[in-house]
Amino acid sequence: MKDGKNPDPNTIHPIAGYENEIYVKPTLTNPNIIVGDFTYIADREFESHVTHLYDWNGDHLIIGKFCQIASGVEFVMNGANHQMNAVTTFPFYTFEGWDMKPPEREDLPLKGDTVIGNDVWVSQNATILPGVHIGDGAIIGANATVTSDIPPYTVAAGNPARQIRTRFDDELIDLLERFKWWDKPIEEINALIPILTSGDVEMMRMEIRTRM
């Protein structure tokens, strides 16, 4: 408990007197966007950062818990894709006066749901393209364009985003993936903060092992 308050995933403004950082989940209106507890964005709202999300495509944006989304981040969904297996990519069917029926779903490059794991940091002005899966604990660099999947606890940057390095060794990544600290009760997470925020990797490894 800090300042006499417990963490509340259903509050919109988790920093008193500051409106440019919000918890996303309690602000959502689109049922095709699913966001976990305590994920925040450095903005006054979230849904304008999700573009081309149309019901008829059937795709979803799914983001886990405790993610950190910087300002200017954009999630581009499948509705942005044009037909690519024909001579022209021009979408005649979307405009008045043109004699074209909508293409069949199999003729569109639909890539499925976009899925962001837990405790993912997406840096300023990054763009996440349709169907991408980003694993737990990943870090996406500023201005990156993520066109393909990023494994858990991996740092990726660039356009297109490339894997720069893993944050930890394979054993510790496996421990963290099985430990799933983000799914634990608030009281337990509060008690884990000294471990989760320590730069002593070996201490963290040992402490997590004892709690498995």
Percent of the chain with pLDDT over 90: 92
Whether the link from the prior residue into 160 is cis, omega within 30° of 0, is yes
Start-to-end Cα distance in the chain: 25
Residues 6+ apart with CB under 8 A from 29: 47
Mean pLDDT of 130-150: 98
Question: How high is the mean pLDDT of the chain?
Answer: 95
Res. 188: pLDDT tops 80: yes
When pLDDT is cut at 50, 70 and 90, the band that residue 91 belongs to is very high
Res. 212: pLDDT tops 90: no
User: What is the secondary structure of 67-121 as a DSSP string?
Assistant: -EE-TT-EEE-GGG----SSS----GGGSTT---PPPPGGGS-----EEE-SS-E
Res. 105: pLDDT tops 90: no
Residues 6+ apart with CB under 8 A from 25: 9, 10, 35, 36, 37, 39
Res. 35: pLDDT tops 70: yes
Angstrom CA distances, 107 to 71, 78, 85, 111, stand at 34, 13, 7, 12
Mean pLDDT of 139-143: 98
pTM: 0.94
Q: In this predicted structure, what is the pLDDT of residue 4?
A: 72
Res. 5: pLDDT tops 90: no
Cα(186)–Cα(46) distance, integer angstroms: 24
Mean pLDDT of 148-177: 98
**Which of these is catalytic: 13, 52, 60, 82?**
82
Q: Is 136 exposed, middle or buried (0-12, 13-18, 19+ CB in 10 A)?
A: buried
Q: In this predicted structure, what is the pLDDT of residue 1?
A: 60
Active site residue 52: no
The pLDDT tens digits of the residues spanning 58-73 come to 899 999 999 999 999 9
Cα(12)–Cα(5) distance, integer angstroms: 14
Residue 176 — φ and ψ, nearest 5°?
A: -65, -40
